[in-house]
Structure 1
């Protein structure tokens, strides 16, 4: 895998770790629904600026891509609403690792839908991830 992809993934991990902490703190003083709304409104402003800054070509509006992006947005929003609700009522040290197992779902779907290869090491890693969450929640 490319080194750039690994570094970007590490930055993602750190950013999402920070997001979980900010989200937990915000739900201690405002409702989880308002916290989610403010989070994604600010994210939208950032993302628009990022897109405009990095976009050197005209808008590439492919209906298929847009449809899948809308699906990603809807599922992301569902996850955000349920995550903030979970953080409002539960411990971040439990809620965050459980929600972080989304990658297991993505890996399984990648194998089933995209026919991505999965060897013994990757399969073992996924199993250990599920075991780790079981231990964290006990």
Structure 2
């Protein structure tokens, strides 16, 4: 994939935001129709295969199979997929209105790692955009309420949420780090393999004692929705290739729920509450500042072709 624009990272980041935004608006529909989240994961892992094959054929990319590339690819994939596995359990034992706001702050980890180890910096507008994006992220998910302090699971849900936050934050950092020595085709290929490797885990976690919808609006609808997630993930790898991790991560993580909220308002007739509306305003400002700031681009010579 090549772009002729002056900011290819921005193009790919925007595509990621759109695909993940649409995916987010409809991702819960198959589960509402009786198709379990764990099986949705299995479907998602399989939908990663077509984009992986497409870019390998289109770009005639050479698959890098040296030990370092395999390690980077598997780390990226397993951190993402492993975080999703933990999330399945976290939301069953803890308050979702607090679990999701916590894990939405994963870009903080990415920003810190990129700042100290990759020596990334951005301009004043970019810095302000990052701050606004980080403030907006938990507002998209927070719905108010109180936590049952006497829950039998204690603070386990909180520990799991922190683990997911760390996993996804570190994943984004390694995604950028890998782009210095790996091509996109290899990174995404190993991400796909990692997701597939965890299918047996998700299958084992499935409660088959419940009635499962195997009809069109179950697994087939899930596949149609999850392919958006897979394409968005591919574009995210490209965005990290051309842009700075400390800019791409908060922008895509804030932009996607922004688009999800807009779709929910326009097509689904769902009006956001005060927290989410505030998050929408802040996310719009953040995306604009990050887009116009001149500190988000990286020298393409730093990455492999």
TM-score range, shorter chain: 0.7 to 0.9
Give 1 or 2: higher helix fraction. 1
Stretches of structure 2 lacking an aligned partner (at least 5 in a row): 1-92, 107-164, 294-305
Q: In the alignment, which residue of structure 2 is the partner of 1:78? A: 231
Q: Distance in 1 between the 2:250 and 2:187 partners?
A: 20
Aligned with residue 88 of structure 1, among 234, 237, 241? 241
Higher relative contact order (CA closer than 8 Å, sequence separation 6+): 2
Aligned length: 136
**Alignment CA distance shift 1:81-1:89 (3 Å):** same
Show CA shifts across 1:52-76 (max 9, x none): 2212316642211223211222211
Aligned with residue 56 of structure 1, among 184, 192, 207? 207
Q: CA RMSD in A?
A: 2.4
Give the greater-gyration-radius structure (CA): 2
1:107 is aligned to 2:261: yes
The answer (yes or no) to whether the contact 1:33–1:84 under 8 Å persists in 2 is: no
Tell me the secondary structure at the aligned position of residue 214 of structure 2. Answer: coil
Q: Distance in 2 between the 1:50 and 1:114 partners?
A: 33
Q: Does 73-82 or 57-66 show the bigger shift?
A: 57-66
Q: In the alignment, which residue of structure 2 is the partner of 1:44? A: 196
**Alignment CA distance shift 1:4-1:119 (3 Å):** closer
1:6 is aligned to 2:97: yes
TM-score (norm: length of structure 1): 0.81
